[in-house]
Structure 1
Amino acid sequence: METPRHKAATSERDVPQGDRVREFVEQYRFIIAHSRESRYRAYALRHKVFREELEYTLGDDVDTPFEKDAHDKHSILCLLHHVGSDRDAGCLRVVLPIDNDGQPRTLPLEESCAHGLTHPRLHPDRFERSSLCEVSRLAVHPDFRRTRECALGLREQDLQPLEENRLPPPSPLVTLSLFLAATAIVGLSGRRHVFSMMEPRFARLLKISGLAFRQVGDVIDYCGPRAAYYIDQHQAERDLQSSLRPLYRHIRTSLAPQVERTSPFV
């Protein structure tokens, strides 16, 4: 007789990819935070994860329950909203180094770890500011991830299905979908050259999905051991695992009309 445990394992492996994407699409919505209210929802989620849970000293005013800084004024903020519970499951931001008046600005990592940017060619100074951006403040609410070891809760075993061209179960898919959304937003905003600060082990995990970030700086102590990474958005789209492409197309299509009206920043 088949045990319940065996049934669960069998059904997990045999879920058709189209059904898994459909399930995710029905459960989650990506929302570009245009309004003050939605942007402060992102700040509140970041405060919960980065300050309360991980005890990072991020943001300008640590005495408020909102983690935000000056770069948010020039960023596209995005929320991942869980429809069934009416709660925000995750968030991210794409920092654009040009202000509302069209004046160039520095990326956050150019301020926080300029000494750690060591690659001779893949340095922000090597590109036009209008083609640059930085992806940061990716966070998943602890109720929507399997582990509390980091803000995104992604483990190597969670991504093993991708190596067999299968989608992972919903929990790690929440994390991966944030990176897919970031990739889509970067492209939709007319950017190509993407920088991000992350742990080396996390960059290795993302490579399994096809998002092959290149390390362009030394590992430094910045909320733990992190280094600057770079990825070409065009290449990222081409290299995505085939199992992730249907979900990526859905995310990009749903975000396109929202990104078009992302101005001015609040």
Structure 2
Amino acid sequence: MDELAGDFQRYFEIVSAVTPALRREVFRLRYQVYAQELGWEQEAQFPDGEETDPNDGRSAFCLLRHRPSQRYIGCVRLVMAEPEDSQAPFPFEVAAQVPAAELATRYGANWRALAGEISRVAVISDFRRRTGERGAAVTDVDDDSQSTRPERRGFPHIAVGLYLGAAVMGTLRGLERVFALMEPKLARRLRAYGIVFDKIGEAVEHHGLRAPYCLEGGGFGANLSPQLGGLLEIIQGDLARLGHSRPD
């Protein structure tokens, strides 16, 4: 196991949120990040302290746990096709105003059935990089953290780990591709590690400038940089072992 994978596994764990209790952890973490820390959502809209939206009913989720503290510090969801409405759009289609006809031409008439969308990626402020960048829901961590040096080596890969976790959930479910609405600089960072999201539309204002991207599922693992190969194996093992069914 390479150093990066070893450091990540020592301090972090990907947890598949397959139980109602774990899904509530996801929603509470999202409330903390999106409502309390960033102000993107109104706290009053979620009196139970759990941030949810209608797409959660067709989604799978995973959490990132910090082993030393046993805290859940990050989360991500994978939105899948609406089983009772094959024409129901994914969130990125609405936010980025991507024409349905354009997507059908590119991916086929029934493309949604074998697609997913990575969304609602969030990391609590303690693990986001520096005060000047805490207006983003997920980023790297401050090098001046009180954590140990080996622990800090894993911090810049928190976002990478969450995106890998969502992509693995997609491949384990047999999806052909996953989409995401993200900042171009994050797409470039992921590409540097071999997670190649292709831009499929123009950037729009959505809590910052974001563009729609697509990650083809067939060979993304083969494109990973050597240092991420071990991390992918860890995440695949965690999610395959724990399972990841649709919400009840």
TM-score, normalising length from structure 2? 0.84
Quick check: 1:184 aligned with 2:202?
no
Could you say which residue in structure 2 is the equivalent of 1:153? 139
Conservation of the 8 A alpha-carbon contact between 1:118 and 1:218:
no
1:134-173 per-position Cα deviation (integer Å, ceiling 9, x unaligned): 0001111111232324111139x9xxxxxxxxxx921112
1:161-200 per-position Cα deviation (integer Å, ceiling 9, x unaligned): xxxxxxx921112221111111211100110211110111
Conservation of the 8 A alpha-carbon contact between 2:96 and 2:202:
no
Q: CA deviation at 1:113?
A: 3.0
Q: CA deviation at 1:60?
A: 11
Structure 2 CA distance for partners of 1:24 and 1:47, relative to 1, 3 Å: same
Quick check: 1:136 aligned with 2:119?
yes
Q: Secondary structure at the match of 2:218?
A: helix
Conservation of the 8 A alpha-carbon contact between 1:132 and 1:194:
yes
Q: Secondary structure at the match of 2:185?
A: helix
Q: CA deviation at 1:38?
A: 0.9
Structure 2 CA distance for partners of 1:43 and 1:251, relative to 1, 3 Å: same
Task: Choose the corresponding residue for 2:79, options 88, 91, 95.
Answer: 95
Quick check: 1:200 aligned with 2:209?
no
Could you say which residue in structure 2 is the equivalent of 1:73? 57
Q: Take 1:118 and 1:209, find their aligned partners in 2: how far apart are those partners? A: 32
Quick check: 1:217 aligned with 2:201?
yes
Conservation of the 8 A alpha-carbon contact between 1:154 and 1:172:
yes
Could you say which residue in structure 1 is the equivalent of 2:91? 108
Could you say which residue in structure 2 is the equivalent of 1:237? 221
1:96-155 per-position Cα deviation (integer Å, ceiling 9, x unaligned): 1133xx543321122333347796677566553321100001111111232324111139
Q: Take 1:251 and 1:174, find their aligned partners in 2: how far apart are those partners? A: 12
Equivalent runs, 1:246-261 vs 2, <5 Å: 246-259=230-243
Could you say which residue in structure 1 is the equivalent of 2:146? none
1:67-103 per-position Cα deviation (integer Å, ceiling 9, x unaligned): 111111110010011121010021000011133xx54
> CA-atom RMSD, angstroms?
2.7
Q: Take 1:224 and 1:146, find their aligned partners in 2: how far apart are those partners? A: 17
Task: Name the amino acid aligned to 2:115.
Answer: L
Structure 2 CA distance for partners of 1:56 and 1:149, relative to 1, 3 Å: closer
Structure 2 CA distance for partners of 1:213 and 1:203, relative to 1, 3 Å: same
Structure 2 CA distance for partners of 1:124 and 1:36, relative to 1, 3 Å: farther
Count residues with an aligned counterpart.
235
Could you say which residue in structure 2 is the equivalent of 1:83? 67
Q: Which runs of 5+ in 1 are unaligned?
A: 1-16, 158-167
TM-score, normalising length from structure 1? 0.78
The structure 1 segments of at least 4 consecutive aligned residues displaced by more than 6 Å after TM superposition are none
Could you say which residue in structure 2 is the equivalent of 1:11? none
Task: Choose the corresponding residue for 1:48, options 29, 32, 35.
Answer: 32
Structure 2 CA distance for partners of 1:115 and 1:32, relative to 1, 3 Å: same
Q: CA deviation at 1:210?
A: 0.8
Q: Take 2:39 and 2:99, find their aligned partners in 1: how far apart are those partners? A: 23
Structure 2 CA distance for partners of 1:59 and 1:106, relative to 1, 3 Å: farther
1 or 2 for the larger relative contact order (CA 8 Å, sep ≥6)? 2
Conservation of the 8 A alpha-carbon contact between 1:109 and 1:196:
yes
Q: Secondary structure at the match of 1:169?
A: helix
Q: Take 1:32 and 1:85, find their aligned partners in 2: how far apart are those partners? A: 18
Identity of aligned residues (%): 27
